[in-house]
Structure 1
Amino acid sequence: MKEKSKRQTDPALAQARRDQVLCAAADCFRRKGYHGAGMAEISKTAGMSAGHIYNFFASKEAIIESIIEQDMEKVFSIFQEYEDQPGDLVTILLDGLDYAVDHHTDVNQGALDLEMFAEAARNDKVAEQLRKSDCYAREKMRNLLLSERSLIKDLSATELESRIEVMFAMINGITLRKTLNPHVDKATLLLALRPAMRVLLVPF
């Protein structure tokens, strides 16, 4: 008697389905907030049954964790580009501000980020994931600034950490500024952001 062979799941299709759910969930969280967006809403937006979604994610919390992990993968990709790109590190990082400002002035991305931060204030698991992501990004920046191409590689550990914190505060703060002042544009932000960031990337 022949054994029934199990249907093999196509990894590419499974990943596409996961991405479909994450995209739908992000849209729902932006529009209705984390608590206002139930699995039924996510299911409807994704165009698949809630049961199908549970094949990929155990809960809404797991969906949020995966969204944060996606952001970490983007951060890895960006910093990898910085590492691989030849030339002056200060110029490379200053040029990278174009992407950073685009990302943090994107209205949809900003709404999602603010919702994540709000959920982190009351959900320890989400807070831990966001802190892990931030720690990872700071580590990647630290490695760049300690590399041979860096002009500030010889700074004390305390001063280096201070500069990284201020860099990240400036970049992350753009989301809040765009929320409070929707009319602020990329050119205006970069006009002061580039020279301010340059100061932090060279010895005082």
Structure 2
Amino acid sequence: MKQKTKRHTDPALAQARREQVLAAAADCFRRKGYHGAGMAEISKTAGMSAGHIYNYFTNKEAIIESIIERDMEEMFSIFQEFEDMPGDLVTILLDGLDHAVERHTDIDQGALNLEMLAEAARNNKVASLLHATDVLARERMRQLLVGERGPLKDIADDELTGRIDVMFAMIGGLLLRKMLNPDLDQQAVLKALRPTMKTLLLPFA
């Protein structure tokens, strides 16, 4: 009991252990799927006992929830970087496409995302988390586009909603294209994507 209390009195160590478990679980989910990766496999990959893992996560569902939350935090930090950068917001967003394309054509990360989506089809709690994450992401994009420096302050709300959905669909759909076409040329995609995205980011004439 004392060991457990000592472990949790050091927030930095506890966070490092949590990240160690999340990294191991993500690797297991990618290789064996959510249902194929048991806690024994995760603990072996993490290099710690299953009992130790249960000090930080009650079950596999709690682990996948934390992976989703971590991805959301990363996404929001990117939005914040866009907002904090000086200059024309459209140019900033278009420049950010390089990172977006690279991230959404990463097969390792993509396999994990597909596994989470597959689990969402069976697990209402995971589905709710992914839905909530998407709602927050679209709202954050909306805030950027209609904010003080936003290029789309004056368009109708339903049109803005449609544009954001199309933007997200184009970026999110890159994973499927990469899965089906492993030889996908990222530079060719960017060359086609930039003018298309620019059209969506500016008022129609």
TM-score, normalised with respect to structure 2:
0.95
Runs of 4+ with deviation above 2 angstroms: 6-9
How far apart in 1 are the matches of 2:117 and 2:152?
32
Residue 107 of structure 1: how far off its partner (Å) = 1.1
Structure 2 SS opposite 1:66: helix
Other-structure match for 2:20 = 20
Deviations 1:101-130 (A, max 9, x none): 111111100110111111111111111111
How far apart in 2 are the matches of 1:188 and 1:40?
43
Q: Summarize the alignment of residues 145-160 of structure 1 with structure 2, pairs less than 5 Å apart.
A: 145-160=145-160
Other-structure match for 1:31 = 31
Deviations 1:72-125 (A, max 9, x none): 110110010011111001100001111111111111001101111111111111
Structure 2 SS opposite 1:48: coil
Other-structure match for 1:161 = 161
Q: 2:87 aligned with 1:95, yes or no?
A: no
TM-score, normalised with respect to structure 1:
0.96
- Equivalences, count: 200
How far apart in 2 are the matches of 1:152 and 1:115?
35
Superposition CA RMSD, Å: 1.1
Structure 2 SS opposite 1:36: coil
Deviations 1:157-189 (A, max 9, x none): 100000000000000000111111111021021
Other-structure match for 2:196 = 196
Structure 1 SS opposite 2:176: helix
Structure 1 SS opposite 2:33: helix
Structure 2 SS opposite 1:187: helix
Instruction: Structure 1 unaligned segments of length 5 or more: list them.
Output: none
Other-structure match for 1:42 = 42
Other-structure match for 2:174 = 174
Q: 2:25 aligned with 1:59, yes or no?
A: no
Q: Which moves more between the two structures, 54-63 or 182-191?
A: 182-191
How far apart in 2 are the matches of 1:148 and 1:48?
49
Instruction: Structure 2 unaligned segments of length 5 or more: list them.
Output: none
What percentage of aligned pairs have identical amino acids?
71
Residue 9 of structure 1: how far off its partner (Å) = 2.4
How far apart in 1 are the matches of 2:166 and 2:142?
13
How far apart in 2 are the matches of 1:23 and 1:185?
28
